[in-house]
Structure 1
C-alpha cells in the first residue's frame, strides 16, 4: 500500500471540491421534509460525505478494472479508505441508532422491521431490476439454467448477490449489496440484544446465547465487520462524558478528532482494529454533537445525507452504464489524470439521479411510514 501518492491526493482534492460545490448549490433547496429539518444531528451531513466517498472509491476501481481487467482494491491506501472508512462509519451509525433504541422499554417490533423493509427494499428492488435486465441481455436463458436463474434471483433478494453463468452481475452496482446483508444480520440480532439488556431471560441462557453468537460470528470469514456495530456502544454509554469533554476542552477535541481522522484515512488499513478504534472515538464525538466547525450542519450536506442511500446504491449503476454499456471512454487511450476529469460529471449525474430516486422511490415509503406510524426519526436517519 502507498501512503501519499499524488494520484490519490488528486482524487481526494477533486472529491472535496465536488462535495463542497454540491453542498453550496443545494444549500437553499427546499428539499428536506419538516421532520428532518427539525432534527439537528451531525450524522445527517456525515452520511452524504460517506456515500460520495464510496463513489470516488469505485470510480477509481472502475479505471483499474477497465485497464487491468481485474476488480480489486486500490493500491493507494487513501483511495482504499474512501470505501473502507465510509462503510465502517455507516456500520457504526447503524449500531448506534439501533442499540440505542434497544435500551427503550417499549418497542413495536413489527413496526421496526417494517420500517427497515420500507427503507431498504423499494430502491433495492429498483436497482435489482436494472441488474436483472442487464444480466439477461448478456446471458441466454434456457430450460437448463432456469433453475439456476431462480436461485440467483433469490440470492439477490437476500442481499447475497453473485454472478450468473459467469456474468459478474454484482459489478453492475459496484458490489455494494454485501453491506446490506451484514446490516440485516445485525437487525435480526436486535431481539436478542433487547432481551439481554433488559434481563428478559435468565443469566445462564444469556451467556449461552452470547457464546453461540460469538461462535457463529467467528466462524464467518469476515467476522470483523460485526465489531463495528459493537464499537458504537461507547458513543451511547459514554454520552455525557463525550459531551462534557467537548464542552470543557473544545480545542483539544478538535485536535483529537482531526488527528484521528487523518491517521485513519492516511495510515491505516480498512477493517483493522488499528482503524476501527480511532473511528469509534471519532464517531463517539460526532454522534454526540461534534460537527467539524459547523460543516456537518450545512443544509447542502444534510440534503446529500438524506439521499445518501440512493447515492450509495445507484452510483455503481451509473458507472457501469457510462463506462461498460455506453463505453464513453476508450480506456486503452486515456491516462488516470485525464480520467479524473470525468469525475465531476459522474458525480453530478449520481447526485441528480439520487435526488430523483429519493423523491420518487424512497420518499413515498418514508413519508407514509412517518405519517401513519409516527415512527422514531432515528429509524429514518439510517442510510
Structure 2
C-alpha cells in the first residue's frame, strides 16, 4: 500500500493531512495578502456573523482534500466512490452540508425582513454565481472535445442540449458530454450542489417570505426549532437520510440558526466559551460515523456552524485576513479545483508518473495544487466575481415589495 492509499484508509492520518494542508494554505494566503490588489479586495473582518468568512475557507479546502484522494483512486482504479474513511467522507459531505446551512442562514435574514427587493435578490444571485460557473462550463466542454480528439460523437443538436443543461446549473440534468463517460469528473462533480442552491432561492426563499407575512418572528423561531428537532429525531429513528430530504434539512438548520442568532438568549448561548468547547470537541465524533447521512453527523455540523456564527475563531485564526481571504475566494476554489486535479492526474498518468502521486511526493504535490487553485481563485474573485457582483448591483432597481408592519 502506497503513502496516499495509507492516508486514504486512515481517519487519523487524513485529518492530520488536512490540518497541515490548511495550515500551509493560511501561510500561502498570507503571502498573497502582500499583493495590493488582493489585500484591498479582502473582506474586512468584523464580529457580524462571527467567524463565518473564515469558516468558508475551511469548507472549500476540505472539499479539495476529499477530491484529491478520490480523484487519485479514480485515475488508478476507474471508480469514483466514497471511501471507508469517515474523515474523508465528511470533508466532502459535511462541508457541503454547512455550505447549505450558510445559505439558509443568510437568506433567512433577507427574506424575512420588512421588505424585499426581489429583482435585486435574483439579479445579485445570477451575477454572483453565473459568470464564473459559465466560464468553467465552457472550459469543461472544450476539455472534453480535446479529449475526444475534437471529434463529435453525438449530433450537434445533442451537444448543444448538453451545454444548455450544464449551463443551467444542471437543474435540467447533468448528461455525459459528447459521449464521454463520467465527464463530470473534470470538475469533481461539484455542480450538483448548485442545483439545490437554486432550488432554495426559487422555492425556499418565497416560501419563507410568505410565512413571515403570516407568522411573527417568534412563532417562526419556535416553529423552525420544533420542526428541526422532530426531523433530527426522525432521522435518528430511521437510521439515515439521503438526497433531497437531507439537503432540505441542512437548509432548515441554517434557517433555525438565523432565528437563534437574532434571539438575545440564543446569541448568548452560541457565543459562550462552553458552547464553543462543546462544538469543537464534538467534531471528533465525525471520525466515528461513516458519513453525513445520520442524525449525529447532522447535530455535529449544526453545532460547529452555530459556534462559528457565535464567534468561534480557533484562537483568532479564522479572523485573520489570510483566513478571510480563503473564505472570500471559496466559490472559485469550489468550482476550479476539480479542473486542476483532473489536469494534474491526467498528465501524470499520460507520462507514466501517476505512481509517484501515491508516494511521499504527494506531500509536495498537494500543497502545490492548493497554491495553484488559490492563485486562480484569487484572480477569478478580483477580475471576474467582484466586477460582476458590482454590475449586478447596478442593474438591480430598488423597487421593493412592502411587508405588513
Question: Is the Cα contact below 8 Å between 1:60 and 1:74 reproduced in 2?
Answer: no
Provide Cα deviations, 1:166-209, integer angstroms capped at 9, x if missing partner: 33221111100000000000000111221122129xxxxxxxxx
Aligned: 1:145 with 2:155: yes
Question: Is the Cα contact below 8 Å between 2:29 and 2:326 reproduced in 1?
Answer: yes
Aligned 1:173-192 pairs, distance under 5 A: 173-189=187-203, 190-192=205-207
SS at match of 1:289: coil
Deviation at 1:264?
Answer: 2.9
Deviation at 1:116?
Answer: 0.4
2: CA distance, partners of 1:35 / 1:143: 45
Aligned with residue 61 of structure 1, among 67, 70, 90: 70
- 5+ long unaligned stretches in structure 2: 1-7, 216-226, 232-241, 399-405
Q: 1:171 to 1:80 in 2, by over 3 A?
A: same
Aligned 1:192-271 pairs, distance under 5 A: 192-199=207-214, 221-239=243-261, 240-245=264-269, 249-250=272-273, 252-267=274-289, 269-271=291-293
Q: What is the root-mean-square deviation of aligned Cα atoms in Å?
A: 2.9
Provide Cα deviations, 1:26-64, integer angstroms capped at 9, x if missing partner: 455543557932654411111111111111111111110
Deviation at 1:295?
Answer: 1.8
Question: Is the Cα contact below 8 Å between 1:47 and 1:305 reproduced in 2?
Answer: yes
Deviates more, 1:153-162 or 1:3-12: 3-12
2: CA distance, partners of 1:334 / 1:294: 34
2:176 corresponds to which residue? 163
Aligned: 1:118 with 2:133: no
Deviates more, 1:110-119 or 1:360-369: 360-369
Aligned with residue 28 of structure 2, among 22, 31, 43: 22
Question: Is the Cα contact below 8 Å between 1:8 and 1:78 reproduced in 2?
Answer: yes
1: CA distance, partners of 2:128 / 2:209: 22
2: CA distance, partners of 1:36 / 1:70: 40
Q: 1:299 to 1:265 in 2, by over 3 A?
A: farther
Deviation at 1:4?
Answer: 4.7
Question: Is the Cα contact below 8 Å between 1:323 and 1:329 reproduced in 2?
Answer: no
Question: Is the Cα contact below 8 Å between 2:57 and 2:324 reproduced in 1?
Answer: yes
Question: Is the Cα contact below 8 Å between 1:19 and 1:49 reproduced in 2?
Answer: no
Q: 1:308 to 1:112 in 2, by over 3 A?
A: same
Deviation at 1:294?
Answer: 1.7
Question: Is the Cα contact below 8 Å between 1:242 and 1:288 reproduced in 2?
Answer: no
SS at match of 1:36: coil
Query: What TM-score, normalized by structure 2, do the two folds share?
Result: 0.79
Q: How many residue pairs align between the two structures?
A: 356
1: CA distance, partners of 2:331 / 2:396: 22
Aligned 1:83-98 pairs, distance under 5 A: 83-98=92-107
SS at match of 2:93: helix
